[in-house]
Amino acid sequence: MRAAVITGVAGLVLTSDERKLFSESRPAGVILFSRNIASLDQVRGLVADFNAAIASEHTLVLVDQEGGRVQRIKPPLASLLPPAAAYLAHARGDVTAAASAARNVARLLADELRTFSINTDCAPVVDLPVPGAHGIIGNRAFATDAQGVIAVGRAFAEGLMDGAVLPVMKHIPGHGRALADSHLELPVVAASRAVLEASDFVPFRALADLPAAMTAHVVFSCLDPAAPASTSPAVIQQVVRERCGFSGLLMSDDLGMRALTGSFADRTRAVLAAGSDLALHCSGNFDEMIDVAGAAPPLGGLALDRFRVALAVTERTPRPYDRAEAQAVLEALVTHGA
């Protein structure tokens, strides 16, 4: 059985303690950060060692490779990627052209990620930013209007899937209105349910057919004033699953973010009890990893079904594409600084 957790690792290679923990707990996936990335061969070796430890090659290997500020694999190891807002800016507001560019870049990105043995990208960000919100989302969003976010975000996700890479849309049911950075503190959104329904939730409803998503550590006062969305059964079940209609694999945002409180075991239990299928722990801190592993149950039931559906995306045969065209599109975006 696989555990309902995605884990980070501390460094460039697995320690003997990590290897032992992973062989016993068998996480559903691993997430890599810049601290884990030195060269192509090193990353491939690290992934191979993780797979050997869990005794399976059928696993999710994640990275945050959005582009712009959030790009864990940097040049010269991988292409420089534009921020999400660049697609519409470069296309001068032409949504069709921006979507085409996003799909091309994402398809090229999928090839790069698979070269590193990475099969899951924590992107696209489909949050809808509003004026006055904290800049943590900012140009990580594709647009400031729902239809732009939907069109370009879907194209980016489909480009990844065309290349057999699983997209994870973020941060359901919405982080764009937050006035604080959930890495550092707990954001509280005071907007009414009617406002949220007409704005923040719209991209997630439109993209509910995507295979995976990540929750938001944000309190929506009108929905559950006592808990962030990620630990609120009311928000996950009534809004994410029912109102937004998302039926895919749901993972929490990082358990280590300061928006959450309590022990790491408590945090793990809270996100899973709320309705996430997987708890995400990123720091690579071994003591935290032990607590998370001890609190995470085996994957089963609908969570296991959703995991298998998501994993199947990574096991497809990549679709052919015009690599030269995709490279030219990317170079134009980066060259013009859009």
SS3 of 195-242: HHHHCCCHHHHHCCCCCEEEECCCEECCCCCCCCHHHCHHHHHHHHHH
Cα 299–Cα 286–Cα 58 angle in degrees, nearest 5: 35
Element (H, E) at 66: strand 65-67
Contact 152, 89 (CB under 8 A): no
Per annotation, catalytic residue among 94, 183, 209, 336 = 183
Beta bridge partners, 125, equal: 170
* 3-state secondary structure (DSSP) of residue 282: coil
Q: How far apart are CA 145 and CA 92, in angstroms?
A: 14
Cα 312–Cα 318–Cα 321 angle in degrees, nearest 5: 150
Taking alpha carbons only, the member of 126, 155, 130, 124 closest to residue 144 is 130
Backbone φ and ψ for 32, nearest 5 degrees, come out as: -110, 145
Q: What is the DSSP letter of 271?
A: H
Q: What sign does the CA torsion over 135, 30, 77, 107 have?
A: negative
Q: How far apart are CA 245 and CA 250, in angstroms?
A: 12
DSSP letters of 124-157?
A: -B-----TT--TTTGGGSS-SSHHHHHHHHHHHH
Beta bridge partners, 336, equal: none
Is 17 one of the annotated active-site residues of the chain?
Answer: no
Per annotation, catalytic residue among 64, 253, 254, 291 = 253
Is 183 one of the annotated active-site residues of the chain?
Answer: yes
Residues recognised as catalytic: 183, 253
